[in-house]
A and B are shown apart, each in its own frame.
Chain A
Amino acid sequence: MTRDLLGLLPELCLLAGAACVLLAGLWLPRERQWVVHALATVALLGSAGLALRAAGQGAGAAFDGTYTVDATLHTVRVLAPLATVLVLALSRGVVRGHARETEYATLLLLATLGAVLLAGSGDLLVLAAAYLLASVPLYALAGFGKDAPGTEAALKLALTGALLGIVMLAGTTTLYGLGGATEYQALRTGLAGVPRTAMLAALVAVLAGMLFKAGAVPAHFWVPDATEGSGTGVAAFLTTVPKIGGLAAVYRLVTEAIPGGAGTGILVAVLAAASMTLGNFAAFWQDSVRRLLAYSTISQVGYLLIAPAAAGAALARPALLFYLAGYAVTNLGAFAVVAAYRRAERRTDYTGLFRHDPLLALALVVCLLGLVGTPPTAVFLGKLTVFAAGLDAGLGWLVVLAVLNTVASVFYYLRWIGKLFSSTASGAVVAGADGWARASAVLLAGLTVLLGVGGGVLLRV
């Protein structure tokens, strides 16, 4: 038991961090609340550091196999807290001095913990609990601004989350009924002889919850509204961190809990195809940049889902993990630019940004081209490996569809990029940028390229 708990040190660090932040926040005066954010950052960095140390000790399982510690979890344990650190940085400008500064950090920490637990769950019941932990703080965060769009975002998020959570529990019950176990390894043996249709139906129900977390079709209805309605920092978090946990959970579910060759590959492939296509086409004529990024994340999940669909291929898992890292960095980078110019809500508000703030404009160009998948950015390497895995697994049609989608996506990213280089500047641009968000954007754009060029080192482990 003690050994199990020690294996969970990174998670415990996040939990302790959340508790400390909440307590510290209660004692600190309003104008000293920044201490809370510093504390949260320390907890997150500490967690990532502990995870790195744990990664050196190899794979294993905790609590009778209900929690799996392996490369997937190691990656998520490092990635999710670091992403949250950056979310904290890019939302500094908005949250500083806010009446609920402490709550912001606490909720982010708890949601991060939920995402990590999702990735590690080796048991349907743990998965359900992690789902709740990863979702409930987000409902509150979405409504953080207490304004009309925020309320709508929170309501939509909460309703979808609750509905899909129940569907997921129904699926869990059915899988338990069919396979006689909730722990993945036992479930896999138990499900070996059961009717395939029933099993796939139950799996779809369980996947519903994960797809909600990942923001994939058909559970994507909350994404555009929540991304537009909640603050930019929350939006950045919503479209990044839960996704990491959700997709890792999908991969684990498909590869570990369901017997091989049960047709799950084609099921996930169809979801991937729908997600990338719908997200792309909805993004086409968006003028609100946050809505555009929201639809772009839906399409990105489509590409990411190719990895679980191609689970048999040797490259599938490294591809997924690397793509997740690349996506997180690039997506956060784009959101950081949006956060830097708080008053620039629409595409046209970015007119002339290059003249006014060339560094930030370049950062945006790098991040948007990164989302397209132009080499040498991180997402390119992610796409390359994911496509290779897909072709290897015989999903040629899906990869071709992904390629066509990629080309279509260039159109709307370029429509945004094209605005940057006008000679006249819009008012929103002239108003100036928020320092923290600006620094995060430049850092993240640099990281995108660095991760793309130096990705070989990461892919090896």
Chain B
Amino acid sequence: MLTILIFLPLAVSVALAALPRLPDRVVRWTFVAATGVEVMLAGVLWAGFTGPGYGYQVRVPWIPSIGVSYHVGVDGISLPLVAMTAVLFLACAVYSLRQTRRVRGFVALLLFLETTSLGLFAALDLILFFLFLDLSIVGMYFVIAGWGHRDNRRSALTFFLYTFLGSLVLLLGFIGLYLAASPSTFDIVRLAEQRPLAGSPVEGGLVLLAVCLGLAVKTPLVPLHSWLPPAHTDAPAAGSAILAGVLLKMGAYGFVRIAMPVLPEAWRQYAMVFVLLGVTGALYGALVALAQRDLKRMIAYTSVNHMGYLALGVGTAGILAGNTDQARQLAVAGSVTQMVSHGLITGALFLLAGVCYDRAGSYEMDRYGGLAGTAPRFAALVALGAFAALGLPGFSGFIAEFQIFTGSLGAAPVPTALALLGILVTAALFLRALQRVFLGPQRLPLPGVPFPDARPSEVAATVPLLGLALVIGVLPRFLLELVEPGARAVAELVAR
């Protein structure tokens, strides 16, 4: 079942690539159908999941001589991410109904990316995790290089080199774990049981450094974020949405799935580093975003800010002194909720930013003005997205940040208080952006060029994402009931 969920998009992708001369319309609707089936499959998995622990596990030996197996399974932490991924891809498919440039290749690549993303969140083997991570980099490289705009080739190359270096450092860490375990294995579950480097602080620290460097590049944590703004800005809208919504979560997910359970001792020892990195990222991302004149770059930098909160959450989960079990669990659960919430909201925001570029070929906020008059539906959607992103109560972001801050306050009061300031800055920058683009005198980007309101496919793509963010914000129980047992398990594993 889980395997079907992972590989169905790939199968469709291969079929699309192999069948010649399909009309673009058919290809686009196949994309929607395939991603729709994925959402349904994810829903079935969610409905049938009975935690705690891993469900739907499959384990087949793959390269037994070095302890690699095809081992997949989902728990309360990965299942929400799997579902979020499926939903976001469906949204991108709907949004791409208006795609006209080399449709077949684009759809095939995005479907390929869906397989790598789902596979990564379901992987319970380090090499499998690495495989999907690397393939996602390859897929995204081609999306940016092939369908991006402006300086896209250079951005794609920077993205590839930067994240590939990160992934290889990660691989070194994985090999370190493999060699330290006895019997040697790449299996995440077994490694978490064994804690291979417990009692050797130097090696444990080095392996943690390698693992975390790799994941931090992918997340990205300041100061390893410099690949992100160009990659986001120059990618096509659907590509940016996937990059921000799904690919950025891979690093953060890696912290929760690999670094914390497998190296609890080292994690506890260096937890303060993550807290500080998180606070720095939250504040830095917000302040730099405030200074942007380019709408898409601004959203990209708010991702850095949100990933900062996430790092704060996972960091404080490692601080035992002054932290109750309850608080640690809350911080982890908040981080996971933040991953889901950020995926939905930022995905929607990037798709909406794509609308601007689609109409007027520019992201410069100063070139727009008074759009609320001509495009009210579009304005309402962006406003909704902006309020969701700044963490207004009633949206998923609030739930996530509330959990993170409540969980963190006891263990690291000063950093948490500082990070709270980030929310203030974020609120300011989103409101300012709304004001610049939608209010004020009507000043359309190009004289004589109309700015049509959001089209049905654009509405249909973004409304469900924002709607889900709202549902999670108002009725979070259905998500938290799934996340909390998983978060408790991780918090217990870290405290060992």
Where the two chains meet, the residues of A that have a C-beta atom closer than 8 Å to any C-beta of B are 315, 318, 369, 374-376, 380-381, 384-385, 387-388, 391-392, 399-400, 403-404, 406-407, 410-411, 414, 418, 421, 455-456, 459-460
State in angstroms the CA–CA spacing of A385 and B175 once bound together: 9
State in angstroms the CA–CA spacing of A411 and B153 once bound together: 12
Report chain B residues within 8 Å CB of A315: 66
Please give me the residue from chain A that is nearest to B178 by CB atom: A388
Q: Can you list 13 A-B contacts (CB < 8 A)?
A: A384-B175, A387-B172, A388-B179, A391-B172, A391-B175, A399-B172, A406-B164, A406-B168, A407-B165, A418-B145, A455-B63, A456-B63, A460-B65
Known: A388-B175, A391-B172, A391-B179. A456 touches B160 (CB 8 A): no
Question: What bracket does the count of chain B residues touching chain A fall in?
Answer: 20 to 34
A338 → chain B closest CB, angstroms: 22
State in angstroms the CA–CA spacing of A204 and B14 once bound together: 50
B168 with A407: CB separation less than 8 A: yes
State in angstroms the CA–CA spacing of A414 and B146 once bound together: 13
Please give me the residue from chain B that is nearest to A374 by CB atom: B134
State in angstroms the CA–CA spacing of A369 and B62 once bound together: 22
Identify the 10 closest CB pairs spanning chains A and B, nearest first.
A456-B63, A375-B131, A407-B165, A459-B65, A403-B168, A388-B175, A460-B65, A375-B134, A456-B62, A374-B134
A283 → chain B closest CB, angstroms: 15
Contacts of B146-204 to chain A: CB distance below 8 A:
146, 153, 157, 160-161, 164-165, 168-169, 171-172, 175-176, 178-179
B369 → chain A closest CB, angstroms: 36
Report chain A residues within 8 Å CB of B134: 374-375, 380
Report chain A residues within 8 Å CB of B448: none
A410 with B175: CB separation less than 8 A: no
Where the two chains meet, the residues of B that have a C-beta atom closer than 8 Å to any C-beta of A are 61-66, 68, 127, 130-131, 134-135, 138, 141-142, 145-146, 153, 157, 160-161, 164-165, 168-169, 171-172, 175-176, 178-179
Report chain A residues within 8 Å CB of B175: 384, 387-388, 391, 399
B152 → chain A closest CB, angstroms: 11
Number of interchain pairs (Cβ within 8 Å): 73
State in angstroms the CA–CA spacing of A109 and B172 once bound together: 40
State in angstroms the CA–CA spacing of A366 and B131 once bound together: 15
B153 with A392: CB separation less than 8 A: no
Q: Chain B interface secondary structure, helix, strand, loop or mixed?
A: helix
B63 with A381: CB separation less than 8 A: yes
State in angstroms the CA–CA spacing of A388 and B168 once bound together: 13
Report chain B residues within 8 Å CB of A456: 61-65, 68
A421 with B64: CB separation less than 8 A: no
A374 with B172: CB separation less than 8 A: no
Report chain B residues within 8 Å CB of A385: 66
A321 → chain B closest CB, angstroms: 12
Report chain A residues within 8 Å CB of B146: 421
Report chain A residues within 8 Å CB of B62: 456
Report chain B residues within 8 Å CB of A418: 145, 153, 157
State in angstroms the CA–CA spacing of A421 and B143 once bound together: 12
A459 with B63: CB separation less than 8 A: yes
Report chain A residues within 8 Å CB of B178: 388
State in angstroms the CA–CA spacing of A149 and B306 once bound together: 59
Report chain B residues within 8 Å CB of A380: 134
B179 with A392: CB separation less than 8 A: yes
Q: A403: which of B157, B172, B176 is its contact (CB, 8 Å)?
A: B172
State in angstroms the CA–CA spacing of A333 and B165 once bound together: 25
Please give me the residue from chain A that is nearest to B175 by CB atom: A388
A218 → chain B closest CB, angstroms: 27
Known: A315-B66, A384-B175, A459-B63. A407 touches B131 (CB 8 A): no
State in angstroms the CA–CA spacing of A124 and B165 once bound together: 42
A459 → chain B closest CB, angstroms: 4
Instruction: Please give 17 more A-B residue pairs, beta carbons under 8 A apart, in addition to A380-B134, A406-B168, A407-B161.
Output: A375-B127, A375-B130, A375-B131, A376-B131, A384-B66, A387-B175, A406-B164, A407-B164, A407-B165, A410-B161, A418-B145, A418-B153, A421-B142, A456-B61, A456-B65, A456-B68, A459-B65
Report chain A residues within 8 Å CB of B138: 369, 374
State in angstroms the CA–CA spacing of A403 and B161 once bound together: 12
State in angstroms the CA–CA spacing of A283 and B171 once bound together: 25
Q: B157: which of A374, A381, A411 is its contact (CB, 8 Å)?
A: A411
Report chain B residues within 8 Å CB of A387: 171-172, 175
Q: A421: which of B66, B145, B179 is its contact (CB, 8 Å)?
A: B145
Report chain B residues within 8 Å CB of A399: 172, 175
State in angstroms the CA–CA spacing of A381 and B64 once bound together: 13
B66 with A459: CB separation less than 8 A: yes
Report chain A residues within 8 Å CB of B165: 403-404, 407
State in angstroms the CA–CA spacing of A455 and B165 once bound together: 24
State in angstroms the CA–CA spacing of A315 and B63 once bound together: 13
A388 with B157: CB separation less than 8 A: no
Report chain B residues within 8 Å CB of A318: 65
Please give me the residue from chain B that is nearest to A405 by CB atom: B168
Report chain B residues within 8 Å CB of A455: 63
A388 with B131: CB separation less than 8 A: no
A225 → chain B closest CB, angstroms: 29
State in angstroms the CA–CA spacing of A385 and B153 once bound together: 33
Known: A384-B171, A399-B172, A459-B63. A410 touches B179 (CB 8 A): no
Report chain B residues within 8 Å CB of A369: 138
State in angstroms the CA–CA spacing of A455 and B63 once bound together: 7
B267 → chain A closest CB, angstroms: 21
State in angstroms the CA–CA spacing of A415 and B69 once bound together: 34
A388 with B130: CB separation less than 8 A: no
Known: A391-B172, A456-B62. A384 touches B127 (CB 8 A): yes
B94 → chain A closest CB, angstroms: 26
State in angstroms the CA–CA spacing of A414 and B159 once bound together: 12
A414 with B135: CB separation less than 8 A: no
Please give me the residue from chain B that is nearest to A355 by CB atom: B102
Report chain A residues within 8 Å CB of B142: 421
State in angstroms the CA–CA spacing of A189 and B260 once bound together: 50
B164 with A410: CB separation less than 8 A: yes
State in angstroms the CA–CA spacing of A380 and B62 once bound together: 15
State in angstroms the CA–CA spacing of A406 and B141 once bound together: 17
B10 → chain A closest CB, angstroms: 12
A313 → chain B closest CB, angstroms: 9
Please give me the residue from chain A that is nearest to B64 by CB atom: A456
B127 with A400: CB separation less than 8 A: no
State in angstroms the CA–CA spacing of A418 and B61 once bound together: 36
Known: A375-B130, A456-B68, A459-B63. A414 touches B157 (CB 8 A): yes
